[in-house]
Amino acid sequence: MPMDQTAPSGALTLCGGHVIDPASGFSAHADVFVYDGHIVSILPAGEQPAMGERVDVAGLLVCPGLVDMHVHLREPGQTHKETIATGTRAAVAGGFTTVCCMPNTTPALDRPERIRELRQIVGRDAACRVEVIGSISLDNDPERFSEAVALRAAGCVALTDDAFPLVTQEQRAEALRLCAIAGLPFIAHCEDKTLSAGGVMNEGQSSRELGVPGQSVEAETANAREWLKLFALGAHLHLAHVSAAGTVEALRAALPHWHGCLSAETAPHYFSLTDEAVLRAGPNAKMNPPLRAQLDRLAVREALVSGDLAVIATDHAPHSDGEKSTGLLQAPFGVIGLETALAVSLTELYHSGLLGFPELIARLSTNPAQLLGLPGGGLTPGAVADLAIIDPDAHWQVASGAFHSLSRNTPFAGMTLRGRAWGTLVEGRFVYRDGELLA
C-alpha cells in the first residue's frame, strides 16, 4: 500500500523483527507499519521508510496478540482475588491482547443486564479486550437455563457450564440445542461429580503419599464421552481444560463425526507438570481438573502437536493467599497463568522442538480468535493491530511477588523459563513494553 513520506500522527513502525502470521502463513524479517489502530503494511525489512515512532525489534518475534478463551477475572463479587483492571494488566504483561472471562462470578454472568454491567466496567478499567462467556444456567442451577439468544445480544461470545457442570444427558442436549439457536459455541466443563466428589488431586501415587483423597481420571473422561455422543444437534462443542489421555483418545475418535463443529483446549500446567508438583507446591498446584500422571501429560502434548487439541488457554483462576494457605484439603481449586502461559509454552513446546513458532502461536492466538469470531489472530493489512512482540530466548525466574495479578497462586514459582513477552500492543498502542506496564 503506497504511503506518504510524511508520518501521520498515531503512526508506528516496528522495524526488523521476525514477523510471523499463522493465519496467512507469512514468516519473514519485515517492518510492520501501524496507523489508526490497524496494520497498514508489512514489507521486507528496510524496504519502506520508518513512519511515525520507530521501534527497533530486531532479534524479536512479532506475531498476533495472544487470545485466552478461558480466564476467571473474578469481577463482580470476588475482587479480593482479581479485578478487571488487575487481570487485564497481568494479561498484557503476558502477551495477551484479548481475554474471555468465565461467568462463575458473584452473581453469575447469566442475565443480559449483568453482561451489560460488566461491559461497562471493562470499558472503564480494562487494559486489553475482554469478551464475556455467559452461563448456560440461571443461578448455577443446572435445571434452569439462561436465555441464550438474549445473552448473545448482550455481547456474550459463548456459553458454558464451567465450574457448575450439567448433570444429565438431557441437560447437555438442551444446552447444545439452545446454543445452536443462538449461534454460539458451548464450552463444556467435563466432570462427573459423582466420581470426582471429595478428591483434591489426581488419584495416584502422589495422593497416596500425601494421604489425601484422589480424583479418578474417569471423572473427566467419562463425562467427556457423554458430551461427544451429541454430535447431531448442530452446535459447536468446545471441551475445556483437557487433562487426561482418555479424554484425548475420545476426542480424537469423535472429531470426524462432528464435521468441524468440535474443538478442545488444554492449559500449560497440563502439558508441563504432573501430580508430583503437588508434593512441592501444595495448594498452589491444586486445580480442577487436577494435574495428572506422566502418561496423561505426554498424551496432551502429543495432541497439541497433532492439532487435535487446537487451543492453549490458561484457565487463570486467582485466589488469595489466605484461601490457598488453608491446606490441601480445604484450599480452593485453581492456579493463575496469564503471566506464565507464553513462557511455559515456549519452554515446553517450542524450545523442545515439539512445535514450531507459527504452530504454537496458532494455538495461543489464531485458533481461539477464529473459533469465537474475535478480532485479532492475524496480521494481514487492514487487520486490527493487536500484536505481541516476543523475546523467545529470554531466561527468567518466576517470582510471583512481581506479578501484576492480585493473586500469587502459581505452581511455577521459582522455576526458570525461556521466553517471554517483550511488548504488547492493543489497537496499535503499546500497553506493555520492555518490562514496563503502560496501560
Residues 14-42 have a mean pLDDT of: 97
Predicted pLDDT of residue 374:
97
3-state secondary structure 192-204: CHHHHCCCCEECC
Interacting residues of 176 by C-beta distance below 8 A, sequence separation 6+? 186, 230, 233, 234, 235, 237
pLDDT tens string 382-408: 999 999 999 999 999 999 999 999 999
Q: Would you please indicate which residues are annotated as catalytic (active-site) residues? A: 315
Q: Would you place residue 129 in the very low, low, confident or very high pLDDT band (cuts 50, 70, 90)?
A: very high
Distance (Å, whole) CA 348 – CA 31: 29
Distance (Å, whole) CA 49 – CA 387: 21
For residue 299, tell me if it sits in a domain: yes
Contact at 8 Å (CB) between 432 and 90?
no
Residue 157's DSSP bridge partners are none
| Helix segments in 197-320, DSSP class H | 205-210, 218-228, 245-258, 268-272, 277-281, 294-306
Q: Would you place residue 6 in the very low, low, confident or very high pLDDT band (cuts 50, 70, 90)?
A: very low
For residue 45, tell me if it sits in a domain: no
Distance (Å, whole) CA 176 – CA 185: 8
Return the residue matching grid coordinates 489425601: 212
Model confidence at 9: pLDDT above 70: no
Return the residue matching grid coordinates 457450564: 161
Contact at 8 Å (CB) between 33 and 5?
no
Model confidence at 202: pLDDT above 50: yes
- CATH code assigned at 157: 3.20.20.140
Q: Are strands 201-202 and 214-215 parallel, antiparallel or unpaired?
A: parallel
pLDDT tens string 153-179: 999 999 999 999 999 999 999 999 999
Model confidence at 5: pLDDT above 80: no
pLDDT tens string 269-315: 999 999 999 999 999 999 999 999 999 999 999 999 999 999 999 99
Predicted pLDDT of residue 49:
80
Model confidence at 4: pLDDT above 60: no
The three three-digit cell numbers of residue 336, written as one number: 493463575
Predicted pLDDT of residue 2:
27
pLDDT tens string 232-243: 999 999 999 999
Predicted pLDDT of residue 51:
83
Contact at 8 Å (CB) between 295 and 287?
no
Contact at 8 Å (CB) between 272 and 344?
yes
For residue 10, tell me if it sits in a domain: no
pLDDT tens string 63-91: 999 999 999 999 999 999 999 999 999 99
Q: How many domains does the chain have?
A: 1
Q: Would you place residue 7 in the very low, low, confident or very high pLDDT band (cuts 50, 70, 90)?
A: very low
Burial class (CB in 10 A: 0-12, 13-18, 19+), 144: exposed
237: part of which helix (H) or strand (E)?
strand 237-239
Predicted pLDDT of residue 439:
75
Q: Is the peptide bond before 289 cis (omega within 30 degrees of 0)?
A: yes
The boundaries of the domain holding residue 191 are 65-372
Residue 137's DSSP bridge partners are 145
pLDDT tens string 320-355: 999 999 999 999 999 999 999 999 999 999 999 999
Percent of the chain with pLDDT over 70: 98
Q: Would you place residue 3 in the very low, low, confident or very high pLDDT band (cuts 50, 70, 90)?
A: very low
Predicted pLDDT of residue 8:
47
Predicted pLDDT of residue 47:
82
The three three-digit cell numbers of residue 375, written as one number: 478480532
Predicted pLDDT of residue 140:
96
For residue 152, tell me if it sits in a domain: yes
Torsion of CA 166, 168, 174, 177, to 10 degrees: 90
Predicted pLDDT of residue 306:
98
Contact at 8 Å (CB) between 89 and 336?
no
For residue 387, tell me if it sits in a domain: no
For residue 145, tell me if it sits in a domain: yes
For residue 76, tell me if it sits in a domain: yes
Predicted pLDDT of residue 1:
25
For residue 429, tell me if it sits in a domain: no
Percent of the chain with pLDDT over 90: 96
